[in-house]
Amino acid sequence: MSTDVIEREARTDRPRRRKRLTRVGFLFAAPFLLLMLFLWGVPIVSGFWTSLTDTNMAEGTGGFVGLDNYAHLATDPDFRAALGNTALFVVLNVPILVAVGLLLAMLLNQPLGGRGAIRAAFISPYLLTGAAVAIIWQTALNPLGGNLNQVLSAVGLPEQAWLSTPGQAMGGVVLITLWWRVGFPLLVLLAALQDIPAQLYEAAKIDGANVWQRFRYVTLPAIAPVLMLVVLLRLIDSFKVFEQVYLVTQGGPAGSTRVVLQMLYESGFRDFQTGYASAIGWTLAFIILVVTVLQLALTRRRESR
Amino acid sequence: MSTATLTATTETTPRRKRAHRPEARRAKRLATAIATVFALGWTLPLLWTLIGSFNAERATEGAGFIPSMLTSANWSKLVQPDGRAVNVFVAFFNSTVVAVCATLLALVVCSMMAYALAKLPFRGSAVVLSVIVLAMLIPTEVILVPLFQQFAALGLLNTYGALIIPHVVSLFGVVLLRQFIANLPVELTEAAKIDGANAWQNYRYIVLPLIRPGLATLGILVFLAAWNDFLWPLIATSTPSMQTLPLALITFRSAYGDSEYGVVMASTILAIAPPLLVFLFAQRFIVAGISNTGLKG
């Protein structure tokens, strides 16, 4: 809408005046544009070029090898494992995070005493650095006398090995991520819930709709667009999972939580295989792009139906 | 909101008023109780960390919720880590410099860009806007390697510049502020122009004061991102004296984690206190910022 206005203004203005505006606008934009070129434009191009070479920072080599890095990735068992772990994390994390976020948002949308304080409690972990989150939870999930095991044994449940067995470690990481990141879906969905006119619920109640029916036919359709967007943003974010894994489990035990970004970091900055690491980055970007397009297409089809 | 509608409907049906009221109050009390229990559970890990930082017992093992002995020795180790880690105040200072500079620069650079896009269309500005929106889809992590090479080539590694500059360009910030500026009433911005104000005066004295809520939201988001960043500082710095707090935390963990976990807990508290304080005083803007992220698409 606003671009229409701008265009109309520009068209009706006299040519001399438009020319002057053009130059001033460019001056205002220049600092951002230069920085964006430096931080996005050049790295994207040079990164793609590097992914086509066998650049190694330690050995100083760097010849053009075509798509060799990508071909190698396709058969690299390490990459396959990392991709599988990342996919497992995405599949577990996104539904849990969005579902718990929605439940909490609906709880907070009720008439409550002390709503501000309750909301703050759920959002505050979202503001913390991943390093702190990792340390807090590594301590709490310590299998030997960690606080969570003490809680479990206090209520008579068996103590858990948590992060130290391959089967449970990813579950632990998902739990940590839920605690850390739930503030985002909570806030966005709460805003969407508060936009639903109360008359809709009144009307549904008069029509005899029960709690589930009111959720299914009033709440869900009203928040569907926002819900889809939250899912998309969480999907993108989940593919880039790194800190809570790298700092809590170091990818272990037995590589069961090693994710794509950790592999990128290790091959690029520990093994100095710059070309290979760039190829991993581009592959991850491509996967995220495909998922984004699929999700948007799915949303659009559902909307048009 | 829903309480208002509840009273509105009960007013129209006075007969049912008495029957409804206690029921509604009981429902409210029940919901409050459930929400409070969950909320307390959610803050428990933070509380454990705070208690742990005063715990005199040396290892995690056997350390109960309530320590048998309290001490402040953990906190003094932060200042004198006996060469095992960097003095935590150095890291605190680094984090503060980086986060504050990044925030101020981002506000200036992004608001100027947003002003140009909203009010001063230049050649190719429509293309620039679509490029910005498209670039938001590219995960920053993908350009990590080339970005590192670029900073290395310019000799900027291990400098404040390397830690600050990547946070100055906020694509989301430009989109957010452009929206704010585009929504300003034309009368305000045009009136100053008729009075003879040039573009800079218009931006500095008319537009900036009017978009203060937007600036506050963006400023807080940039501050938090810069303060909390882990992966980029990990790559861009190698000397201990340039460490920011998230990196220092990990150093403290490897230095003290096995034997004196209370020191690690104390450093964690120090690192998470500023964001939580910012949250306490600016909850409104943080809530607006996060909610906006969801609605921007």
pTM for the full predicted model:
0.85
Contact B2 A198 (CB under 8 A): yes
Q: Give A2's contacts in chain B (Cβ within 8 Å).
A: 118, 182
Q: How far apart are CA A262 and CA A258, in angstroms?
A: 6
Predicted pLDDT of residue A305: 62
Interface of A with B in 100-129 (CB under 8 A): 104, 107-114, 116-129
Domains and CATH numbers, chain B: 2-52 (no CATH), 78-295 (1.10.3720.10)
Q: What is the DSSP letter of B202?
A: I
Write the pLDDT tens digit of every residue in A191-247: 899 889 988 888 998 988 888 998 999 999 999 988 998 998 899 889 999 988 898
Average confidence score pLDDT of chain A = 85
Predicted pLDDT of residue B151: 94
Better-scored residue on pLDDT, A60 or A266: A266
Whether the predicted pLDDT of A4 surpasses 80 = no
Q: How far apart are CA B165 and CA B156, in angstroms?
A: 10
Check CB contact of B21 with chain A, cutoff 8 Å: no
Whether the predicted pLDDT of A20 surpasses 60 = no
Write the pLDDT tens digit of every residue in B56-87: 776 555 455 666 777 778 888 887 777 777 78
Which of A191, A233, A278 is opposite residue B145, by nearest beta carbon?
A278
Interface of A with B in 194-223 (CB under 8 A): 194, 198-199, 202
Tell me what the mean pLDDT of segment B179-199 comes to: 83
| Region of poorest pLDDT, from A63-67, A257-261, B67-71 | B67-71
Write the pLDDT tens digit of every residue in B96-139: 999 999 999 999 999 999 999 998 888 888 899 999 988 887 77
Q: How far apart are CA B95 and CA B100, in angstroms?
A: 8
The length of chain A, given as a count of residues = 305
| Helix (H) and strand (E) counts in chain B | 16, 0
Q: How far apart are CA B58 and CA B63, in angstroms?
A: 8
Predicted pLDDT of residue A5: 47
Instruction: Tell me how close the Cα of B78 comes to any Cα of chain A, in angstroms.
Output: 15
Confidence tier at A16 by pLDDT (50, 70, 90): very low
Candidates B142, B136, B183; CA nearest to B296 is B136
CA A75 to chain centre: 27
Instruction: Tell me how close the Cα of B36 comes to any Cα of chain A, in angstroms.
Output: 6
Domains and CATH numbers, chain A: 2-41 (no CATH), 68-304 (1.10.3720.10)
Contact B113 A33 (CB under 8 A): yes
pLDDT more than 90, % of chain B: 39
Q: Which residues are B205's β-sheet partners? A: none
Whether the predicted pLDDT of A153 surpasses 90 = no
Tell me what the mean pLDDT of segment B251-279 comes to: 86
B169 phi, psi to nearest 5 deg:
-90, 105
Whether the predicted pLDDT of A38 surpasses 90 = yes
Interface of A with B in 159-198 (CB under 8 A): 179, 183-184, 187-192, 194, 198
Instruction: Tell me how close the Cα of B28 comes to any Cα of chain A, in angstroms.
Output: 6
Q: What is the DSSP letter of B207?
A: I
